Amino acid sequence: MATRNAIQEKVHRWVYGEEAFQRLDESDDAVFYQKDRFVSHLDRTALETVEHIVGSLIIEDSPVILDLMAGWDSHIPATVKAAEVVGLGLNENELLRNGALSRYVLHDLNADPNLPFADGTFDVVLNTVSVDYMTRPFEVFGEVARILKPGGMFLVIFSNRMFPQKAVKIWKDSSEEERIFLVEDFFRSVPDFGEPHLLVSKGKPRPADDKYAHLGIPSDPIYAMWAEKKGAPKGRRKRPVVELSAGRPVSAEELEARKRQVKKTLQCPHCGERMKKWKVPQTPFTEWDNEFMYICFNDACPYLMRGWSVMESQGNRGFSYRMMYNPDRDVLLPVPVPSLGALKESIVEEA
């Protein structure tokens, strides 16, 4: 008899369309992942964010953890003292190299979404930068709920990088925001999961020594969605609200006070860093008639970091803006930037 998970999977295939969970490369996953990939799937800043999220959300003492679709790094910080960490994946050499694991299981989720574990085995199931490869996600999410203890957490972390030949069509065809709704739908399809929670970290500066730093793009975005299996023991501690913003948030009053002071301080009201003198390029299209502006070139400025998402939501993907001060008119205004490196060539070094 078909299980409830399998029936749901069929219904969702019908809702999403038969092609939604197909891939360009439909060959055996075990063969594709036979190749060892001892690479980082995210830049260092994004990896630190992942560890911070994992470490903050695991509140259990001595948790039993499953790393679902594990590679050579489980992103579990040393502060988490796990009783056991089981890795489930496809590449044995990577799993052998993974120092966090107590043991591992080779299992192809797309061939068989039934997880080889008893009901209520785990306190935490982690799935990092891999949900895009699930061809039967509704069944897998249902299985995760089955193997979690009541109150246990399923934490799904994703970004925007992928192996395009193995990512499912709907993932590739979706925007980053749409992918959030997709993962939310996977969670909500399982009645045993409680309310899903979302964390987003976008726009942090990419480390200067990262292999993609020359592109001037910010650190890889991190989306983390988690939900608990219903039935947590009464009185159990709640999982915390994870702080992801860089630096101390500025209150609205402080922001206004700083804006009034800019003429005197030349400090960016959003991050407090001194703005740099910037020579206005003289082109036939330049709208400003003054020779110099002051621009905040802090790559970790919250105004710039938020800007990538705001611009994307307005249809301007790949753009953000920096805070600029026009000293002649005594006004602050946003200046759009297509990369972290943009405009920097016209900084005027001051003695």
Ligand X SMILES: C[S@@+](CC[C@H](N)C(=O)[O-])C[C@H]1O[C@@H](n2cnc3c(N)ncnc32)[C@H](O)[C@@H]1O
Chain residues binding ligand X by CB under 6 A are: 29, 33, 41, 69-71, 73, 75, 89-91, 94, 108-110, 128-130, 133
Cα three-residue angle 12-144-110, rounded to 5 degrees: 60
Nearer to ligand X, 69 or 262 (CB): 69
> Judged by CB, which is closer to ligand X: 113, or 307?
113
Q: DSSP labels for 204-233?
A: PPPPTTSTTGGGT--SPPEEEEEEEBS-PP
Q: How far is the CB of 30 from ligand X (least distance, A)?
A: 8
Q: Considering beta carbons, is residue 35 or 234 the nearer one to ligand X?
A: 35
Helix and strand counts by DSSP (H, E) for the chain = 9, 11
Residue nearest to ligand X (CB): 71
Shortest gap between Cβ of 338 and ligand X (angstroms)? 28
What is the number of other CB atoms lying within 10 angstroms of the CB of residue 33?
A: 21
* CB nearer to ligand X: pick between 71 and 203: 71
Alpha carbon 334 to chain centroid distance? 26
Amino acid at 97: R
* Alpha helix positions (H), 167-300: 169-173, 176-188, 252-265
Nearer to ligand X, 72 or 187 (CB): 72
- Number of residues that this document lists for the chain: 351
Neighbours of 157 (CB within 10 A): 24
